[in-house]
Amino acid sequence: MGLFNLLTQEIAIDLGTANTLIIYNGKVVVNQPSIVAVDRTTQKVVAIGSMAQRMHGKTHENIKTIRPLRDGVIADFKYAEEMIKGMIKMIRKKKSLFAPSYRMVICIPSGITEVEKRAVKDSAEHAGAKDVYLIHEPMAAALGIGIDVEEPMGNMVIDIGGGTSEIAVIALGGIVTDKNIRVAGDEFTSDIEEYMRRQHNILIGERTAEQIKIEVGAAVTELDDPPEDYPVRGRDLMTGIPKEIKVSFTEIATALDKSIAKIEEAILSCLENTPPELSADIYKTGIYLAGGGALLRGLDKRISAKTKLPVHVSEDPLKAVANGTGIALKNLDRFQFLMKD
């Protein structure tokens, strides 16, 4: 039994549509894009994470890149398993005689179906997990932000990830009302691609659109500290020749307007369904933003203007969910009731 315990390692995984983070010994040891590159003829995985990301959109006919997660859930079971295995291997620097078994806490969207839940568990078990615990993303985000989730106090957490935006009101260690919409970072990226094609007659790839979002992405057309215009290179749709244009944050705010409006609608709908006592708490505590989408310039101001509530962006929005998953792992006995079997 003693030896068995020695070989059991505890890891927390934030399995995201855009990035996967693994926490081991209280530290984020793996932070990689959720993507694999596959050889078309042998169907073997040739690269995982950032190596595969560098190939994305630049592959020849023998190699294809696959994002095994879509909208926060596993879309390609086989390659999701390969990706999880590959990322777990990144932790094990030293070769050991025995392959360790793992106790895992994995983060899942709150709107996930039983079938999708099963797929996450199966993938983890095939990757070497002995025990698998699942925790809902908004709950993990709340823990990561530093909210005391067990208090009889209402807190609203919004986690805007790559595939889904999760909006939840949390009190007494449970999710009271929640709304899960599949409008998030990926949707923003395709909005930018579409806008560049329509407005500027220029064709850009997903990676370029992602870069535009990071450099000049904004949710409002007026900012106190606006970023400089960003040069974008792509293919001119009229001539077919590569060209460069400059885009400003105001253009991107216009491009993203419709998608952000959908998130605002979901927030208002979640607030409408919140019990009055908790609404009173939220009026006092405000709304907490986490996830990569929280980094969008001016998003907190826009949500605040829409809801008339204070909006706080968590300290490290990209790692909030992963950190919360890590906290749940460290205090398994205390937070066992939060886990979904």
* pLDDT value at residue 96: 58
Is residue 127 located within the same domain as residue 236? no
Is residue 109 located within the same domain as residue 120? yes
301-320 in b/e burial notation, b at 16+ Cβ within 10 A? ebbeebbebebebbeebbbb
Residue 158, domain CATH: 3.30.420.40
Is residue 29 located within the same domain as residue 123? yes
- Per-residue pLDDT tens over the stretch 251-302: 999 999 999 999 999 999 999 999 999 999 999 999 999 999 999 999 999 9
Q: Alpha-carbon torsion 43, 45, 49, 50, what sign?
A: negative
Instruction: Identify the CA nearest to 325 among candidates 7, 30, 71.
Output: 30
* pLDDT value at residue 2: 47
Domains in the chain: how many in total? Answer: 3
Q: Give the list of residues 6+ apart from residue 211 with CB closer than 8 angstroms, or none.
A: none
Q: How far apart are the C-alpha atoms of 142 and 321, rounded to whole Å?
A: 8
* pLDDT value at residue 91: 83
User: Which of 233, 255, 277 delimits the end of a domain?
Assistant: 255
Q: How many CA atoms, within 13 angstroms, populate the side-chain half-sphere of residue 209?
A: 22
* pLDDT value at residue 241: 97
Is residue 43 located within the same domain as residue 114? yes
- Which pairs count as long-range contacts for 256-262, CB under 8 Å and 24+ apart, including other chains? 256/188, 256/191, 256/192, 256/217, 256/218, 256/219, 256/296, 258/191, 259/183, 259/187, 259/188, 259/191, 260/219, 260/299, 260/302, 262/181, 262/183
8 Å CB contact between 84 and 29: no
Is residue 156 located within the same domain as residue 171? yes
Q: How far apart are the C-alpha atoms of 260 and 3, rounded to whole Å?
A: 52
Is residue 6 located within the same domain as residue 52? yes
* pLDDT value at residue 4: 46
8 Å CB contact between 320 and 12: no
Is residue 106 located within the same domain as residue 224? no
* pLDDT value at residue 95: 55
Instruction: Identify the CA nearest to 141 among candidates 333, 257, 332, 312.
Output: 312
**Ranges of residues in the chain whose predicted pLDDT is under 50:** 1-4
User: Which of 223, 239, 255 delimits the end of a domain?
Assistant: 255
Is residue 48 located within the same domain as residue 125? yes
In which domain, by residue range, is 227 found?
A: 185-255
Q: How far apart are the C-alpha atoms of 89 and 243, rounded to whole Å?
A: 41
Residue 195, domain CATH: 3.90.640.10
Is residue 79 located within the same domain as residue 177? no
User: Which amino acid type is present at position 157?
Assistant: V
What's the CA dihedral at 29, 32, 35, 40 to 10 degrees? -70
